[in-house]
Amino acid sequence: MDPAAQTDSHPGPDGHGDAHGFRRRGVLFVLSSPSGAGKSTIARKLLAAEPELGMSVSVTTRPIRPGEVDGKDYHFVDLEEFRRMVAEDEFLEWAHVFGHRYGTPRAQIETMLAAGKDVLFDIDWQGAQQLFQIAGGDVVRVFIFPPSMDELRRRLSGRATDSAEVIEARMARAANEVSHWDGYDYVLVNDDVESCFEGVRTILCAERLKRSRQTGLIGFIRRLTR
């Protein structure tokens, strides 16, 4: 990634920052969990609630599921095209997950950051680690636990998008995914969708504030106290 895209301030509508005069840069916001714990569900709610947040749409060699839309849920490609993208260094990170390949295309992230957006990533622990290294540690990583492994299995079955064989493979990998939880900045349990969403949204808001630069703060305070 172009380091300038990652660290530059977004000038905001008045050229000096956001509506309050604060400069800020894009937050790289990662959600990981074992498959089926609910991160896509939380991600959808977060994107609907936060217009300044853009979604990183991954490229995958996995077959498309019923109901998925190419270009919205993923960019679905064959192995040859994925290999071409790797060879031409088009990925910020990529990994083997559940027998398929998944990668984050670099160009869309640069475009969103240049437009002043924060970026949401739904990626596994391998992707979170790679992104952390690329971004020099300036990544917010949230790990979502299911309430129990039985409930995880119920959710994977209830989603009705995968065969029994695929569900078993994902359950078999769940313990491994969970074992990486302590590499994350925040950990939440998705027992209830609404409260998990509120938790994730609170983390995003707090991290945005932490990164705010106070360039316009003095003027803002003067205007307030005039």
Q: Which residues are annotated as a binding site for ATP?
A: 33-40
Nearest to 128 by CA among 201, 44, 172, 187: 187
| Interactions with ligand LQESDW3C, residue window 28-87 (CB under 6 A) | 35, 58, 62
Looking at 159, 173, 180, 201, which residue binds ligand ATP (CB under 6 A)? 159
- 142: CB partners within 8 A, 6+ apart: 29, 30, 31, 32, 184, 185, 186, 187, 188, 200, 203
Quote the strand ranges of 61-124, DSSP E.
75-76, 91-97, 100-105, 118-122
Task: Considering only the stretches 5-13, 32-40, 56-64, 68-76, report the one whose residues sit in contact with ligand ATP under the rule CB under 6 A.
Answer: 32-40
Which residue number, 39 or 208, has a Cβ lying nearer to ligand ATP?
A: 39
Residue 19 interacts, among ligand ATP, ligand LQESDW3C, none and using kind-specific CB cut-offs from 5 to 8 Å, with none
Which residue number, 111 or 157, has a Cβ lying nearer to ligand ATP?
A: 157
As a whole number of angstroms, the distance between CA 146 and CA 134 comes to 29
Q: Which residues are annotated as a binding site?
A: 33-40
| Interactions with ligand LQESDW3C, residue window 126-165 (CB under 6 A) | 126-127
Under the rule (CB under 6 A), what is the footprint of ligand ATP?
33, 35-41, 155, 158-159, 190, 192-193
